Structure 1
């Protein structure tokens, strides 16, 4: 009997398939409309504006696009192979090899992005991530992340390898945003203009760096 992958398999899997993932990643930038939407609500607390990309992967195409638009990008990924490729792709940006769970970089950012990464965590780890989001949020910071459409676990693939996904109920995501001082701006379930991704965009309205 073949066992399905679990959240603990995610980082070793992405480390193992990093080169294949880089070669196969869709670079059409279908994410552009939502990235532009995030940029439109990202404050100018400092120049350049600072982005925290959680689960940054190889940096292509999303972090590259945002860096080209003047953001100072800090990419964080727990898979060493992904961080190495990110550093090669964006040598002028900051690459951090770290697990996003419990992350504390002792700095805040004008935008926080977890695109197709946060949903690889277990439900409990996803709940805990909202404290990580808040800890790294500068005044009025934008937060954008992708999820599933309903509570549950599913399995997909990345570069031919099986990978775990989970999601909370949308009502719980809304509650977690409120509890951690984020105001929901936009929620797009299975957005047809973004290849069916379910996207959340919020703004931080709490005190800077509050933990």
Structure 2
């Protein structure tokens, strides 16, 4: 599925999604773990790239509380609009991580429940890109599937595309691109949702 189509789907549900996520703590424990890893290092500045930032809710609020500057990116224009309204002081991009380019590097990159929408044949390219965008000792937090391939899943009366390289191949790519693995967790077992934290060396 073309990522633009995924973005259009999220445009349709952006306000409903924002309302549903308002009081959620989903993912906060994992993000706190990533922040604690970041706190071990004396960065000259702390900038977090939030890929699939959505409407700028709980994850972004926690990053701000821990004094990170924010760069947000989302494939959904409606989500980016909502995020800008909540956090006008930060930079947001309506863009596709598959094609988005930047010269900036980040102390923290999070991609919570976002890059599993990336087309299967672009998963490796995106993981390599994320590794390249980390500073030395930068921390990467993302979620993926414990499966290989792609599928469609019904949600909000629409078919959303998901893909994954599987845990083993995903970890191989990270290690081949100068990242040490710090945490791997099937946090919704027996479902295949997987949380990974890695550190650039």
TM-score, normalization by structure 2: 0.90
Higher relative contact order (CA 8 A, sep 6+): 1
Among 36, 40, 43, the alignment partner of 1:45 is 43
Identify the residue that residue 183 of structure 2 maps to in structure 1: 186
Q: Which runs of 5 or more residues in structure 2 are unaligned?
A: none
Equivalent residues, number: 197
1:21 aligns with 2:17: yes
For normalisation by structure 1, the TM-score amounts to 0.86
After superposition, the C-alpha distances for 1:87-133 in whole angstroms (9 at most, x for unaligned) are 01112221111111132221111001100000011222111112321
Report if aligned partners of 1:21, 1:159 keep a CA contact under 8 Å in 2. Answer: no
Displacement of 1:158 in angstroms is 4.7
Query: 1:31-68: CA deviations, max 9, x gaps?
Result: 22111110011133223x11000111111111112112
Provide the C-alpha distance between the structure 2 equivalents of 1:26 and 1:148, rounded to a whole number of angstroms.
25
Indicate which of 14, 18, 31 corresponds to 1:35. Answer: 31
Aligned residue for 1:99, secondary structure, equals coil
Instruction: Using the TM superposition, name which of 122-131 and 80-89 deviates more.
Output: 122-131
Instruction: Give the RMSD, CA atoms, in angstroms.
Output: 1.9
Cα 1:179–1:196 change in 2 (3 A) is: closer
Gaps of 5+ in 1: 1-5, 206-211
Q: Which of 107, 110, 115 in structure 2 is aligned with 1:113?
A: 110
SS in 1 for 2:64: helix
